Structure 1
Amino acid sequence: MSVIYILITVSIVVAVIFLIAFINAVRTGQYDDDYTPSVRMLFDDEVKKNTNKLINTQTEKQKSI
């Protein structure tokens, strides 16, 4: 029975260590996304073209009404 107490204690200590490591990684910017903004500029024109088409179709519908 004493082995269970030791295992529970060790598992809680390990979980706390991983939690501290995760919080430290987030604070130092480990999970910041540096790749997406550089790729987003390549596909930005496609988004603008699609929104322009949508705006044009909406204005045409309003003119026909």
Structure 2
Amino acid sequence: MESVPAVFAGAVFGLFGAGLLAWTGARAAHREPVAYGARPVTSVVIAGAAGAGALALAVWCFGQI
């Protein structure tokens, strides 16, 4: 019963991280801004780090099961 929250949190972090990385990659590939008003390289790096961090949290949550 205690693994249900870990599975839910892992799924949420995994979906968010994968979606953010896919969206960031698609925007960067088409040379469109990831964040308006920010430098393109900086916004790609920060969004990529946030996506990778979310995926790392998903792996950690699934490891708690």
**Larger helix fraction of residues:** 1
Shorter-chain TM range is 0.3 to 0.5
Structure with higher Rg: it is 1
TM-score, structure 1 normalization: 0.43
Structure with the larger RCO, 1 or 2 (CA within 8 Å, 6+ apart) = 2
